[in-house]
Amino acid sequence: METEWLKPAALVGSLVYALIGVLIFWVCFIVIDKITPYDLWLEIVEKHNRALALIVAAMCLGISIIVAAAIH
């Protein structure tokens, strides 16, 4: 039985790629937030715009899938 996943290099590599993925996701989300004509936080949280929340959720999933595929 191989214990390759227990090696420190594998753990460090996984953490680095996870941090890179989160950073890329965060930057993409900020860019999308800046190019939209309204404030996403205000619309979703304060005005309870559920349709926009679903669109933003789908966008987040799409960005996450793209980032995961690029890192993989």
- 24 burial (CB, 10 Å; 0-12 / 13-18 / 19+) is middle
User: Tell me, what's the pLDDT at 45?
Assistant: 93
3 vs 11, which has greater pLDDT? 11
The first and second tokens of residue 62, run together, are: 């799409």
Q: What is the pLDDT of residues 22-62, one digit of tens each?
A: 999 899 889 988 998 988 889 999 999 999 999 999 999 99
Rounded to whole angstroms, the maximal C-alpha distance in the chain is 55
Locate all alpha helices (DSSP H) within the chain, ordered by sequence.
8-35, 40-41, 50-71
Domain ranges of the chain: 21-71
1 pLDDT more than 60: no
User: Tell me, what's the pLDDT at 2?
Assistant: 63
